[in-house]
């Protein structure tokens, strides 16, 4: 069976990468295969996860290429050389330019730890999202998988899943629950959905 070639872009621990790898193993992802993991941080633990699963991995940093433009050029070259069909941003701490997102239009997806349009956009990532949700006193939060365009968290929504906020929640507790109950569920589902569409349109 033909599969879409998937690249996962990471910066840190790689828990969302792990959710995708597990999604392949347990049959949620049938139409895509992770062929490449790219990190902009040479110390990212996600690279160890890739190694443990025999996935090709590479490190590209802005420092190597003296800024964003050279970095993106190299990233585009590596993705094209590896014939990547779908790019998944999994805790990738770099805002991508319009030039980059236009090059892979509707081929880049991201998972965000809130129900967009709440608590999203520039500066909203990691624990800050959950801190702001608790500050606001929301009763329900969750996660969103969306297409990536040049506006941070601005692309079309693919999947969302709600998670209840509980009494006594700290940002850390809420972050864990949103990951387990939402992010790690809808991200593999979205990878399957878009991979399937890519294969059928080839």
Q: Are 195 and 85 in contact (CB under 8 A)?
A: yes
Secondary structure class of 143 (helix, strand, coil):
strand
Q: What is the largest CA-CA distance in the chain?
A: 49
In terms of DSSP H, where are the helices of the chain?
15-25, 46-52, 68-81, 98-103, 127-136, 171-178, 184-201
- Residue with the two structure tokens 């509707």: 106
How many other CB atoms are there within 10 angstroms of residue 101's CB atom?
21
Lookup: tokens for 93:
């701490």
C-alpha distances (whole Å) from 173 to each of 147, 170, 176, 178 are 27, 5, 5, 9
Of the candidates 49, 107, 112, 177, the residue annotated as catalytic is 112
List the beta bridge partners of residue 37: 8, 57
Active site residue 112: yes
Query: Which residues are marked as active site?
Result: 112
């Amino acid at each position: 069976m033909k599969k879409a070639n998937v690249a996962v872009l990471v910066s840190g621990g790689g828990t969302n990468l792990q959710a995708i790898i597990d999604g392949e193993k347990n049959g949620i992802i049938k139409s895509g295969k992770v062929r490449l993991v790219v990190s902009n941080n040479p110390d990212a633990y996600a690279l160890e996860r890739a190694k443990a699963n025999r996935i090709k991995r590479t490190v590209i940093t802005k420092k190597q290429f003296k800024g964003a433009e050279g970095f993106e050029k190299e990233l585009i070259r590596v993705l094209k050389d590896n014939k990547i069909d779908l790019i998944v941003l999994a805790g990738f701490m770099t805002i991508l330019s319009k030039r980059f997102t236009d090059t892979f239009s509707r081929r880049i997806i991201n998972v965000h730890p809130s129900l967009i349009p709440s608590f999203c956009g520039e500066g909203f990532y990691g624990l800050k999202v959950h801190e702001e949700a608790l500050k606001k006193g929301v009763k329900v939060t969750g996660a969103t998988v969306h297409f990536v365009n040049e506006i941070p968290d601005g692309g079309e929504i693919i999947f969302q899943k709600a998670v209840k906020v509980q009494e006594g929640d700290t940002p850390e507790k809420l972050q864990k629950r949103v990951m387990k109950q939402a992010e790690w569920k809808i991200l593999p589902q979205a990878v399957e959905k878009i991979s399937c569409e890519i294969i059928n349109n080839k």
